[in-house]
């Protein structure tokens, strides 16, 4: 029987309708948490809720466009309305964004990826933190990327946003550690999720070649790190960035 790390606790996952977010929501539930599954895609989000319920878990779906501060506030309010508390959050929602060299990237493309991948993490934490503090503490895990440490051609907005997520996480981790809230960032390498399904075989092979382990990562492998960072097993871990990247950053 799986250890119940989060019995009677409540976890919120954004971008939980597919990929890493879905895997994280499912794993929180397996460890006993009540889960708020949030996504902009209603159909995908409700599908994940059904998976959790079929496995005996407790979950609710709340639609949210994380690029809007008022929707992030509503998301936390709905969490409290459903379950009366918030203990853990994984701010995972994100997009790849416009692919172009810096000089050719559109202003709209830049603004969109910064809003969804960076500003949203600030908005979510702004409203999550007071709720978590009311319970005496908890944990937040923000989804950064290997591109939160290095650049990547034609990904200026994405890389800048993910670098920002790391800095925001380190700052918040320092600010709230004494109040019982641990805040960390995870940096996945290229993960075999729906985000990469549009790539042709040659492009995918190129990405694989950048990971010394010889393959892309799996969403479940990232979720395991999120769960560990959320749990009391990581009680002295905060304000840090943890890559899960098949040694991508080592070469």
- Give the tens place of pLDDT for each residue, 178-217: 999 999 999 999 999 876 777 888 989 999 999 999 999 9
User: How long is the chain?
Assistant: 251
As beta bridge partners, residue 15 has none
| Secondary structure class of 36 (helix, strand, coil) | strand
Is-above-0.85 flag for pTM? yes
* pLDDT at residue 12, rounded to an integer: 99
Catalytic entry in 28, 158, 241, 242: 158
* pLDDT at residue 2, rounded to an integer: 65
Please return the burial class of 195, using the count of CB atoms within 10 Å of its CB with bins 0-12, 13-18 and 19+. middle
* pLDDT at residue 215, rounded to an integer: 96
Q: What is the mean pLDDT of the chain?
A: 96
Which domains occur in the chain, in start order?
A: 10-250 (3.40.50.720)
241 among known catalytic residues: no
The maximal CA–CA distance of the chain, rounded, in angstroms, is 54
* Sequential pLDDT tens for the chain (251 residues): 567 899 999 999 999 999 999 999 999 999 999 999 999 999 999 999 999 999 999 999 999 999 999 999 999 999 999 999 999 999 999 999 999 999 999 999 999 999 999 999 999 999 999 999 999 999 999 999 999 999 999 999 999 999 999 999 999 999 999 999 999 999 999 999 876 777 888 989 999 999 999 999 999 999 999 999 999 999 999 999 999 999 999 99
Structure tokens at 99: 């692919």
Residue tagged 């964004």 (tokens): 97
What is the spatial distance between Cα 79 and Cα 77, in angstroms, rounded to a whole number?
Answer: 5
* pLDDT at residue 196, rounded to an integer: 78
Structure tokens at 182: 């641990």
Choose among 183, 132, 158: nearest CA to 12.
Answer: 132
């Amino acid at each position: 029987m799986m250890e119940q790390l989060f019995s009677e606790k409540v976890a919120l996952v954004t971008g939980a309708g597919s990929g890493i977010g879905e895997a994280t929501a499912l794993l929180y539930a397996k460890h006993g948490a009540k889960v708020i599954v949030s996504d902009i895609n209603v159909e995908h989000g409700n599908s994940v809720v059904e998976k959790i319920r079929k496995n005996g878990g407790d979950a609710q779906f709340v639609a949210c466009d994380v690029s809007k501060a008022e929707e992030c506030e509503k998301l936390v309010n709905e969490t409290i309305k459903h379950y009366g508390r918030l203990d853990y959050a994984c701010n995972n929602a994100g997009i790849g964004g416009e692919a172009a060299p810096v000089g050719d990237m559109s202003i709209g493309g830049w603004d969109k990826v910064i809003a969804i991948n960076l500003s949203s993490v600030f908005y979510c934490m702004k409203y999550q933190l007071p709720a978590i503090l009311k319970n005496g503490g908890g944990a937040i895990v923000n989804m950064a990327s290997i591109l939160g440490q290095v650049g990547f051609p034609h990904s200026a907005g994405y890389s800048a946003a993910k670098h920002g997520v790391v800095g925001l996480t380190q700052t918040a981790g320092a600010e709230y550690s004494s109040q019982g809230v641990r805040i960390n960032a995870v940096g996945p390498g290229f993960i075999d999720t729906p985000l990469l399904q549009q790539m042709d075989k040659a492009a995918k092979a190129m990405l694989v070649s950048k990971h010394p382990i010889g393959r892309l990562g799996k969403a479940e492998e990232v979720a395991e790190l999120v769960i560990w960072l959320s749990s009391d097993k990581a009680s002295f871990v905060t304000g840090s960035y943890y890559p899960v990247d098949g040694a991508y950053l080592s070469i």
